[in-house]
């Protein structure tokens, strides 16, 4: 089935698209969907900055992880569903609109969740998104038969049951909510694993890899925006101009190197089985979450230099270097390590992770140092891949 250029009437049959389509690319609706989701990511980043600036590292990280998981998981479910069943009819577009509305409601509730532990608005927005996804799976069940219909029904029932669980979070004692969050998050992650037994949906490897790559770029772009705003606000502090410029320069180097490193290995060549796809897709929670946290960390570093953050220079720098190291390690673990040939290539990224973490202890100038370390890593990686037998890099080894 080829992707329609425009919706044909109100409804089209929601049958699976071929995973072998040529030139399959992200649609304008998918790109719009991503941009709306980044609004929620930005809100989570803003609250993380406030928490770190006040030295509330534990509660800040916890709140950020809970909010980001909801945003990321709703995005993941739509992405894989759309790769298999995007028929682009009017009902499909309206269902996507409902999901966008849901994430905007979730974003509006982020400040209450962080500041007052009031999760009502966030949960309401999340449930709206998931119910729209449930309706999409019911359409798949209606228009298909056999094992494919059974898989769609398992998705729909699983999603509906978990949403009931999220609704009950609002009525349990506050002290038990975290435990229920963990249980429900595990249940969310298990729905695809259970539903796909016996029948695998026809997602498109190149399309999925492109969608993840594009969302990673958008999140990194949001990081640049956040860092720019932070530096603009701090430029009135002329005495700290040198430190501010070092943070801005180091942050730009980090983000650009992160982009370069992420796209150095072709992700679609790893997506050859459901097991690999699950590992790669789920692992992006850490890649995307850390990418967004880098921007928050740069803002914290700027606020520390200008006297607005009540933490030490080392702690402020750590809010940049730790998520940067997590981004690098996860990207290496999920993708890059599978295309490395010898000791030099295999050791490059782990050594970089340790070097970036070590930059934390340089204090105010640690962000710039981390950016320079990553720039050197990119240079070494380019040199190593340019060797005569570099074609081997394009042949991932078996897991």
DSSP secondary structure string for all residues of 209-244: HHHHHHHHHHHHHHHHHHHHHHHHHHTT-GGGHHHH
pTM (two decimals): 0.89
One domain for residues 189 and 210:
no
186 and 225 part of one domain: no
Per-residue pLDDT of 278-307, as tens digits, reads: 999 999 999 999 999 999 999 999 989 888
- The H-assigned helical ranges of 144-273 are 146-168, 174-195, 205-234, 241-262
Same domain, 269 and 326: yes
Domain for residue 260, yes or no?
yes
Same domain, yes or no, for 257 and 388?
A: yes
304 and 251 share a domain? yes
Tens of pLDDT, residue by residue over 359-389, are 999 998 999 999 999 999 999 988 888 877 6
* Pair 308, 299: CB distance under 8 Å: no
Q: Which of 195, 220, 254 is the last residue of a domain?
A: 195
How many Cα atoms sit within 13 Å of 83 on the Cβ side?
A: 21
| Same domain, residue pair 226 and 84 | no
What angle do helix axes 241-262 and 366-385 make, rounded to 10 degrees? 30
Residue range 201-251, pLDDT digits in tens: 999 999 999 999 999 999 998 888 877 777 776 676 556 778 888 898 999
- Check whether residue 389 and residue 241 sit in a common domain: yes
Q: Which of 171, 195, 219 is the last residue of a domain?
A: 195
Q: Is the residue at 14 inside a domain?
A: no
How far is residue 292's CA from residue 218's CA, in Å, rounded to a whole number?
A: 10
Whichever domain contains 280, its CATH number is 1.20.1410
Q: Which of 248, 241, 242 is nearest to 225 (CA)?
A: 248
- Identify whether residues 278 and 187 lie together within a single domain: no
Number of helical (H) and strand (E) elements in the chain, helices listed first: 12, 0
Domain span at 185: 28-195
Residue that the structure tokens 């990081």 belong to: 223
Residue 6 belongs to a domain? no
Distance CA 300, CA 293 (A): 10
- To 10 degrees, what angle do helices 241-262 and 313-334 make? 10
- If 0-12 CB within 10 Å is exposed, 13-18 middle and 19+ buried, where does residue 172 land? exposed
Query: Does 211 lie in the same domain as 173?
Result: no
Q: Are residues 373 and 224 in the same domain?
A: yes
Same domain membership, residue 85 and residue 187: yes
Burial class (CB in 10 A: 0-12, 13-18, 19+), 78: buried
Residue 241 falls inside a structural domain: yes
Among the ranges given (181-190, 208-217, 331-340), the one the predictor scored with the smallest mean pLDDT: 331-340
Report how many domains make up the chain: 2
Residue 200 in domain: no
Query: In this structure, are 287 and 384 located in the same domain?
Result: yes
The reported pLDDT for the residue numbered 319 is 96
In a domain, 10, yes or no: no
Of 177, 195, 213, which residue is a domain's last? 195
């Amino acid at each position: 089935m080829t992707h329609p250029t425009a919706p044909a009437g109100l409804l089209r049959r929601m049958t699976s698209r071929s995973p072998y389509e040529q030139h399959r690319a992200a649609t304008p609706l998918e790109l719009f969907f991503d941009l709306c989701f980044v609004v929620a990511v930005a809100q989570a980043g803003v609250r993380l900055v406030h928490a770190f600036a006040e030295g509330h590292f534990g509660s800040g990280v916890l709140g950020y992880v809970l909010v980001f998981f909801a945003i990321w998981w709703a995005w993941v479910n739509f992405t894989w569903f759309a790769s298999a069943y995007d028929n682009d009819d009017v009902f499909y577009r309206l269902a996507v609109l409902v999901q966008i509305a849901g994430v905007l409601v979730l974003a509006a509730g982020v400040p209450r969740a962080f500041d007052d532990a009031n999760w009502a608005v966030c949960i309401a927005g999340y449930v709206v998104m998931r119910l729209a996804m449930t309706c999409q799976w019911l359409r798949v069940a209606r228009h298909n038969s056999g094992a494919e219909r059974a898989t769609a029904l398992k998705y729909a029932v699983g999603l509906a049951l978990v949403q009931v669980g999220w609704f009950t979070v609002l009525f349990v004692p506050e002290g038990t909510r975290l435990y229920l969050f963990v249980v429900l998050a595990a249940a969310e992650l298990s729905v695809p694993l259970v539903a796909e037994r016996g029948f695998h949906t026809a997602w498109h490897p190149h399309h999925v890899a492109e969608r993840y790559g594009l969302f990673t770029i958008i999140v990194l772009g949001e990081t640049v925006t956040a860092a720019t705003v932070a530096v603009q606000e701090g430029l009135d502090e002329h005495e700290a101009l040198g430190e501010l410029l070092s943070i801005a320069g180091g942050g730009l180097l980090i983000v650009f190197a992160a982009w370069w490193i992420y796209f150095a290995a072709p992700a679609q060549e790893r997506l050859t089985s459901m097991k690999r796809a699950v590992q790669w897709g789920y692992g992006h929670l850490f890649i995307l979450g850390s990418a967004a946290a880098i921007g928050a960390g740069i803002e914290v570093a700027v606020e520390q230099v200008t006297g607005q953050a009540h933490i030490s220079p080392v702690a402020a720098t750590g809010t940049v270097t730790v998520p940067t190291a997590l981004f690098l390690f996860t990207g290496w673990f999920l993708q890059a390590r599978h295309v490395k040939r010898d000791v030099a290539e295999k050791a490059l990224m782990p050594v970089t992770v340790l070097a970036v973490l070590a930059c934390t202890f340089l204090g105010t100038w640690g962000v710039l140092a981390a950016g320079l370390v990553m720039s050197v890593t990119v240079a070494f990686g380019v040199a190593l891949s340019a060797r005569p037998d570099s074609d081997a890099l394009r042949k991932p080894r078996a897991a």
